[in-house]
Amino acid sequence: MKQYIIRRLLQMIPTLIGISIIIFAISAMVPGDYITARANPNMSIEKQEQLRSIYGLDKPDYQRYFIWAGNMVKGNFGDSMQHKQPVTTVINTYVWNSFIIGIFALFFSWFIAMITGIFSAKFQYSFFDKIVTLLVFICMSLPSFFIGLLLIKFFALDMKLFPVGGMITSGLNARGWEYFIDVLKHSFLPIMVLTMLSTGSLTRYFRTSMLEVIRQDYIRTARAKGLKERTVIFKHAFRNAMIPAITLLGFELPGLFGGAMILEQIFVWPGVGHIYLNSINMRDYPFMLGFTIFLAMLTLLGNLLADVLYGIADPRIRLK
Amino acid sequence: MAKDLVEFRNLETHFQTTAGTVKAVDNVSFIIREGETLCVVGESGCGKSVTAMSLMQLIESPPGKIVGGEILFEGEDLLKLSKREMSRIRGNQISMIFQEPMSSLNPVLTIGNQISEPLMLHMLLDRKAAKKRAIELINLVGISRPEKIFDSYPHELSGGMRQRIMIAIALSCDPKLLIADEPTTALDVTIQAQILDLMRDIKQKLNTSILLITHDLGVVAEMADYVVVMYAGKVIEEAPVLELFQDPQHPYTKGLLKAKPIINQKQERLYSIPGQVPNPIDLEDNCHFHDRCEFCMDICKVKQPPFRSHGKDTHKSACWLYEEEREVL
């Protein structure tokens, strides 16, 4: 097992090199750079050229790639041009804000999707199943900004239950428990929207997977043993139905840290998705490239994690 | 004569489909006696398996439903039991093995776990006692190194071994009746013989009745005490095994026996019954075999023949050829 993981980690190196070339090439092909993006009318051409050479933007693309990639190998992601801080520091500042929303939404959406998926499969074509299918359809077809604005209107403006946006109440110098409650209040709506968005497709996924499993011969065997329906569903069917979902769980890993660009914009949540989008607009190369590589690494790790978990859950592909 | 263990009385199991009602089991009655092996024979789709599944009450509902009749088990009507009472009988006093050993065991649970389950549920054994008994059972069905098998997963076993494990699970609570739904169909011939031997051994050792569902007359000849022949959801003939083979009455049974290849006998072509099984949706009130029957008479097309004995008490069939009444009509 250890050997397998080490081998897989080593295999990631060429993949990452490939990824770095592609994303660098794409960023280099996009017209404009950090200087033009700032569009300062008072800046003279000479001054612009001077800045370019300070930032190293005047060098040919391949040279810039090697400088950047060489620094990355040494673990140096460079400094964000926009924030005047090391890229890692910027990521560290904002990524946890996104993580809070991400992890809660992940937990709730998986929990809800599992329960509703199982029951709507168990009672296929029942009233419950039809309602679930309808809700799933609604959740999947409404865009996040629409649901987001709708919820703000109802819960924040009309009912005044939750704040409209932000992460903490400005001017409130709360510490400890009070601070926690304040953040919780602010994060409620974004978490709710994110949960709604992902619950729809997940429920469909679990429902289909469960429907397939409860038609299997071994479920009939389990019933023929005289087992209680609860045991049949939760012991015999559930584990088999969950196996294909592990792949999905692996893909959730980058999503946890990647932030939700549109949602963070709507709820004025100081998450990393927001910053990332900005860095692209501003052609803040070090941050934009660094964060993309970070997400790529998480995707690869998520894949590895999924494969390892697969082996644990399914004895048929367990490594000897 | 041995006591009756199970009696099907006018069992009706129907399936609702978009095209109409399928009477998968239509007015079926027969008796399984204690310590007896009863074989149900017939083509695919004739209602053999549905009859067995009705007994276990494992019919998927919807679309299936038992709409009439009684299934008496030791004098008690199983159809009147609550779900909980039925699940106490299932896997305990009546157990079942299936056609596909490859997919009948749960792939993510160990063999030991799956054998122990009914032991802990019905015999109320604790984990340790269940393990001991499970290992005995694995031994009983003729698998060596039972301790190792106990911790194995289904995919590590061959098809024959898995079917043995299924039998071990079925036998775990000393059932009075073992239902075997085409237990050897998916296995190769040498393994088939082994599994049948095993079932015969067990029947002798434990005096278990067996309801064996098959379309293989070779298996019938080897295993059965009593045979029930089904066609399009109905029982058309029943008799002790020797009688049925020596003196089949219904033209369908005759056809089945003729269609069986015989060793040492050179035939140009194997006989086959002409035509096809009728569409099971909304069958009319006639002999369902009439359009394939070489002896078909006018009455066969309009009226169902009664099912009764013609001569010997134990040998019954449903065919107008043996009825006096046809002269009258």
Yes or no: say if B178 and B147 are a contact pair by the CB < 8 Å rule. Answer: no
Q: Would A79 be classed as within a structural domain? A: no
Give the C-alpha distances (Å, rounded to integers) separating A204 from A135, A140, A144, B188, B310.
Answer: 11, 10, 18, 40, 59
Residue B234 belongs to domain spanning: 4-93+173-328
pLDDT digits (tens, 9 = 90+) for B107-128: 999 999 999 999 998 888 888 8
**What parts of chain B have a pLDDT lower than 70?**
1, 324-329
Chain A residues whose CB is inside 8 A of the B121 CB are 225-227
pLDDT at B1: 59
pLDDT at A104: 93
Q: Which two tokens stand for residue A304?
A: 């590895």
pLDDT at A320: 53
pTM: 0.82
Residue A209 belongs to domain spanning: 88-273
User: Letter for the amino acid at B67?
Assistant: V
Decide the pairing of beta strands A79-80 and B76-77. unpaired
Identify the CATH number of the domain in which residue B21 sits. Answer: 3.40.50.300
Q: Which two tokens stand for residue A89?
A: 């520091």
| Residue B122: other Cβ atoms inside 10 A | 22
Q: In this complex, is the C-beta atom of A240 within 8 Å of any C-beta atom belonging to chain B?
A: yes
Instruction: Determine if the peptide bond prior to B306 is cis (ω within 30°).
Output: no
Q: Would B157 be classed as within a structural domain? A: no
User: Letter for the amino acid at B178?
Assistant: L
Cα–chain center distance at B163: 16
Could you give the 3-state DSSP secondary structure of residue A293? helix
Cα–chain center distance at A248: 12
> Whole-number mean pLDDT of chain B?
85
Q: Would A315 be classed as within a structural domain? A: no
pLDDT digits (tens, 9 = 90+) for B180-218: 988 888 788 888 888 888 888 888 888 889 999 988 888
Number of domains in chain A: 1
Q: Would A174 be classed as within a structural domain? A: yes
Closest approach of chain A CAs to the CA of B231, in angstroms? 25
Decide the pairing of beta strands B177-181 and B209-214. parallel
Whether A221 sits inside 8 A of B117 (CB atoms) is no
Q: Spell out the residues 6+ positions from residue A57 whose beta carbon is closer than 8 angstroms to its own.
A: A33, A34, A35, A64, A285
Q: In this complex, is the C-beta atom of B87 within 8 Å of any C-beta atom belonging to chain A?
A: yes
Whether A239 sits inside 8 A of B92 (CB atoms) is no
Give the C-alpha distances (Å, rounded to integers) separating B225 from B213, B217, B220, B228, B242.
Answer: 13, 13, 9, 10, 8
Yes or no: say if B120 and B127 are a contact pair by the CB < 8 Å rule. Answer: yes
Using only C-alpha atoms, what is the Rg of chain B? Answer: 21
Number of domains in chain B: 1
**What parts of chain A have a pLDDT lower than 50?**
none
Whether B87 sits inside 8 A of A228 (CB atoms) is yes
Decide the pairing of beta strands B226-231 and B37-41. parallel
Closest approach of chain B CAs to the CA of A213, in angstroms? 10
Q: Would A43 be classed as within a structural domain? A: no
Q: In this complex, is the C-beta atom of B104 within 8 Å of any C-beta atom belonging to chain A?
A: yes
Residue of A nearest to B178 (CA): A224
Q: Would A289 be classed as within a structural domain? A: no
Angle at A57 between CA A56 and CA A62, to 5 degrees: 90
Q: Would A14 be classed as within a structural domain? A: no
Whether B106 sits inside 8 A of A222 (CB atoms) is yes
pLDDT at B105: 92
pLDDT at A218: 92
Among B184, B190, B194, residue whose Cα is nearest residue B216: B184
**Phi/psi of residue A255, each to 5°?**
-60, -30
Q: Would A70 be classed as within a structural domain? A: no
C-alpha torsion sign, points A227, A229, A230, A236: positive
Whether A221 sits inside 8 A of B98 (CB atoms) is yes
Q: Would B149 be classed as within a structural domain? A: no
Q: Would A242 be classed as within a structural domain? A: yes
Identify the CATH number of the domain in which residue A145 sits. Answer: 1.10.3720.10
Q: In this complex, is the C-beta atom of B61 within 8 Å of any C-beta atom belonging to chain A?
A: no
pLDDT at B329: 47
